[in-house]
Structure 1
Amino acid sequence: MNKYETITLEHLLWINIVQTRHVMNRLWERKMKDTHLTTEKFAIIHELLCLGGESTPHNLAKRIVFEPHSISAMLSRMEKDGLITKTKDLKKKHMVRIKLTQKAIELFPEALNTSLEIFTDLMKGVPREEKIRLTESLTHIRNKALTISPKKDKKLTPFKYT
């Protein structure tokens, strides 16, 4: 065993988080290949649904972990894919409003079911109490990372679980 194979618990946790996200994202991409819906696009559609189907890019950027410039680029791709429409705000001409299209609204339930299938299968055998502890721990880590982040104005959606 070389000296790089012994690491801190925090480093191992980071490696596990990154590797898990990568594997889960690959599973998602394979399952959603035909729809061309990435996890990022799914997250934006989900957040827009939480906001009633429309918002501004600025408001969306405050409620999601992606950076504003990343959201802007994703929204442009989503508009090309026919998932959202962008319109100038009639009251504030410099402001853009984004709205989900019927295509996005129809794709979402299929994507949600697919993600639930993936995650339910991955979490099979993990006791509910452990899932709750993991959720709470990851939420704590994410929130701590956000306080250290240069962009501290995030107001993430306070999701609840069943």
Structure 2
Amino acid sequence: MGNNSTNYGKRELWALLSQAANALSRAADNELRPVGITMMQAAVLFFVKNSKAPATPAEISRWLFREPHTVSQLLIRMERQGLIRKAKDLEKKNLVRVTLTEKGEEAFQHQTEMRVIGKILSSLSPEECDKLGACLKKLRDEAIKELDARPRRLPFP
């Protein structure tokens, strides 16, 4: 199968998807480094900021498709960095709510202004972006079914 072929096999598509995700993540990490956050931390900031209700560690874990203990450690680091604040829910004492601090808001703002993602995605036409978005959503939804781990709410499609 040549490089110019558009008739990709499943393994080739899987490899391309994985390579694209890793390359995009590394490019974003490079741009976020001066702000002092990683792509994973940026994802947490995005979820907390765009969540319609106060975010919890469990919901963040489900949304990121990461184990709760992994997210717990991530949130501890982010709290130490002053990016988030964790507070016990006043009604449900065993529930923790996560909110952004002023520093977290600033980091979130920088993340939304990232040039590298826009630059990379601008290589696609609006139609290609629409098709890619639809395909990625379909793949994500199928993977969620396989994991039997549907997040209760996603802050985007």
Normalised to the residue count of structure 2, the TM-score between the two structures is: 0.84
Question: How do 1:4-153 residues align onto structure 2 when only pairs under 5 Å count?
Answer: 9-51=9-51, 54-114=54-114, 117-149=115-147, 151-153=148-150
Indicate the RMSD between aligned Cα atoms, in angstroms.
2.1
Residue 156 of structure 2 aligns with an amino acid whose one-letter code is F
128-137 or 47-56: bigger deviation: 47-56
User: CA shift at 1:156, angstroms?
Assistant: 4.2
Q: Alignment partner of 1:21: what SS?
A: helix
User: CA shift at 1:62, angstroms?
Assistant: 3.8
After TM superposition, the runs of 4+ consecutive aligned structure 1 residues lying more than 6 A away are none
Aligned residues: 150
Equivalent pair of 1:63/1:157 in contact (CA under 8 Å): yes
Residue 128 of structure 2 aligns with an amino acid whose one-letter code is E
Equivalent pair of 2:32/2:39 in contact (CA under 8 Å): no
Cα separation, 1, equivalents of 2:94 and 2:113: 38
Equivalent pair of 2:52/2:155 in contact (CA under 8 Å): no
Residue 24 of structure 1 aligns with an amino acid whose one-letter code is L
Equivalent pair of 1:54/1:100 in contact (CA under 8 Å): no
Normalised to the residue count of structure 1, the TM-score between the two structures is: 0.81
Cα separation, 2, equivalents of 1:51 and 1:112: 16
Equivalent pair of 1:47/1:64 in contact (CA under 8 Å): no
Q: Which runs of 5+ in 2 are unaligned?
A: 1-7
After superposition, the Cα gap between the structure-2 partners of 1:52 and 1:103, relative to the gap in structure 1 and judged at 3 Å, is farther
Equivalent pair of 2:85/2:99 in contact (CA under 8 Å): yes
Cα separation, 2, equivalents of 1:52 and 1:126: 30
Q: Alignment partner of 2:154: what SS?
A: coil
Q: How many percent of aligned residue pairs carry the same amino acid?
A: 27
Residue 141 of structure 1 aligns with an amino acid whose one-letter code is L
Equivalent pair of 2:25/2:39 in contact (CA under 8 Å): yes
Cα separation, 2, equivalents of 1:156 and 1:88: 21
After superposition, the Cα gap between the structure-2 partners of 1:124 and 1:88, relative to the gap in structure 1 and judged at 3 Å, is closer
Cα separation, 2, equivalents of 1:81 and 1:95: 22
